[in-house]
Chain A
Amino acid sequence: MSTVRTTYREALGAGLRAALLRDPRVFLMGEDVGRYGGTYAVSKGLLEEFGEERVRDTPLSESAFVGAGIGAALNGMRPIVEVMTVNFSLLALDQVVNNAATLRHMSGGQINVPVVIRMTTGGGRQLAAQHSHSLEVWYAHVPGLRAVAPATLDDARGMLLTAIDDPDPVLIFEHALLLPMEGELDADAAPVDIDHAAVRRAGSDISLITYSGSLYKCLAAAEQLEPEGVRAEVLDLRTLRPLDVDAILATVRKTRRAVVVDESWKTCGLAAEIMATIMEGAFYDLDAPLARVCTAEVPLPYPKHLEDAALPQVERIVAAARKVMGRD
Chain B
Amino acid sequence: MTPTRDDARALLWQMVRIRRFEEKCAELYSAGKIRGFMHLYIGEEAIAAGAMPQLDASDSVLATYREHGQALVRGLPAGPVMAEMYGKREGCSGGRGGSMHIFDATRRFFGGNAIVAGALPMAVGFGLAEKMRKTDRITACFFGEGAVAEGEFHESANLAALWRLPVLFLCENNLYAMGTAIERSESDTDLCEKARSYRMRAESVDGMDVLAVRDATRDAVAYVRSGAGPMFVEFRTYRFRAHSMFDPELYRSKAEVEAWKKRCPVETFFAAMRKQGLLNDADRAAIETEVAAEIDAAVAFAEAGTWEPVEQLTSNVYARTRPAAGVTQ
Within the complex, the shortest CB–CB distance from A170 to chain B, in Å, comes to: 11
Q: Name the contact of A75 in the complex, choosing from B126, B314, B315 (C-beta under 8 A).
A: B126
Q: Which residue of chain A has its CB nearest to the CB of B95?
A: A108
CA distance A103 to B319 in the complex (A): 12
Q: Which residue of chain B has its CB nearest to the CB of A95?
A: B121
Q: Which of the 9-residue segments B153-161, B251-259, B273-281, B298-306 touches chain A? A: B153-161
Whether A111 lies near B118 (C-beta < 8 A) is no
Tell me which residues from 196 to 222 in chain B have a Cβ below 8 Å from any Cβ of chain A.
none
Whether B121 lies near A191 (C-beta < 8 A) is no
Within the complex, the shortest CB–CB distance from A180 to chain B, in Å, comes to: 27
Whether B132 lies near A103 (C-beta < 8 A) is no
* Per-residue A-contact encoding for B49-72, CB less than 8 Å = 1, 0 else: 000000000001000000000000
Q: Name the contact of A67 in the complex, choosing from B96, B122, B316, B317 (C-beta under 8 A).
A: B122
Within the complex, the shortest CB–CB distance from B225 to chain A, in Å, comes to: 16
CA distance A58 to B319 in the complex (A): 30
Whether B151 lies near A63 (C-beta < 8 A) is yes
Whether B319 lies near A112 (C-beta < 8 A) is yes
CA distance A95 to B124 in the complex (A): 13
Whether A98 lies near B115 (C-beta < 8 A) is yes
A168-B319, A192-B325 are known contacts. Are A58 and B159 too (CB-CB below 8 A)? yes
Tell me which residues from 145 to 161 in chain A have a Cβ below 8 Å from any Cβ of chain B.
146, 158, 161
Whether B159 lies near A22 (C-beta < 8 A) is no
CA distance A163 to B125 in the complex (A): 19
Within the complex, the shortest CB–CB distance from B4 to chain A, in Å, comes to: 34
Answer yes or no: A119 CB below 8 A from chain B CBs. Answer: no
Within the complex, the shortest CB–CB distance from A133 to chain B, in Å, comes to: 22
CA distance A24 to B101 in the complex (A): 32
CA distance A259 to B119 in the complex (A): 43
Within the complex, the shortest CB–CB distance from B54 to chain A, in Å, comes to: 20
Tell me which residues from 79 to 105 in chain B have a Cβ below 8 Å from any Cβ of chain A.
91-97, 101, 103-105
Whether A162 lies near B319 (C-beta < 8 A) is no
Whether B125 lies near A67 (C-beta < 8 A) is yes
Whether A110 lies near B328 (C-beta < 8 A) is no
Answer yes or no: B123 CB below 8 A from chain A CBs. Answer: yes
Q: Which residue of chain A has its CB nearest to the CB of B108?
A: A75
* Per-residue A-contact encoding for B127-170, CB less than 8 Å = 1, 0 else: 11110110000010000000000011001101100100000000
Q: Name the contact of B93 in the complex, choosing from A110, A166, A191 (C-beta under 8 A).
A: A110
Whether A75 lies near B103 (C-beta < 8 A) is no
Whether A99 lies near B95 (C-beta < 8 A) is no
Whether A68 lies near B103 (C-beta < 8 A) is no
Q: Name the contact of B118 in the complex, choosing from A99, A192, A193 (C-beta under 8 A).
A: A99
Answer yes or no: A109 CB below 8 A from chain B CBs. Answer: yes
Whether B60 lies near A107 (C-beta < 8 A) is no
Q: Report chain B residues within 8 Å CB of A77.
A: 125, 128-129, 132
Within the complex, the shortest CB–CB distance from A167 to chain B, in Å, comes to: 4
Q: Report chain B residues within 8 Å CB of A79.
A: 125
Most buried by B among A71, A106, A144, A167: A71
Q: Which residue of chain A has its CB nearest to the CB of B105?
A: A110
Q: Name the contact of B91 in the complex, choosing from A63, A98, A108, A158 (C-beta under 8 A).
A: A108
Whether A144 lies near B159 (C-beta < 8 A) is no
CA distance A53 to B123 in the complex (A): 18
Tell me which residues from 3 to 23 in chain A have a Cβ below 8 Å from any Cβ of chain B.
22-23
Q: Report chain A residues within 8 Å CB of B130.
A: 75
CA distance A104 to B93 in the complex (A): 10
CA distance A108 to B109 in the complex (A): 13
Answer yes or no: B110 CB below 8 A from chain A CBs. Answer: yes
Answer yes or no: B327 CB below 8 A from chain A CBs. Answer: yes
Q: Which residue of chain B has its CB nearest to the CB of A143?
A: B317
Most buried by A among B120, B125, B318: B125
Q: Name the contact of B327 in the complex, choosing from A107, A158, A165 (C-beta under 8 A).
A: A165
Answer yes or no: B262 CB below 8 A from chain A CBs. Answer: no
Q: Which residue of chain A has its CB nearest to the CB of B129?
A: A75
Interface residues of B (CB under 8 A from A): 60, 91-97, 101, 103-105, 110-113, 115, 118-130, 132-133, 139, 151-152, 155-156, 158-159, 162, 314-319, 322-329
Additional A-B contact list (5), CB under 8 Å, known A111-B110, A144-B318: A67-B125, A75-B125, A76-B133, A110-B103, A110-B104
8 contacts between A and B (CB under 8 A): A71-B123, A71-B127, A72-B132, A95-B121, A107-B96, A110-B93, A111-B105, A165-B323
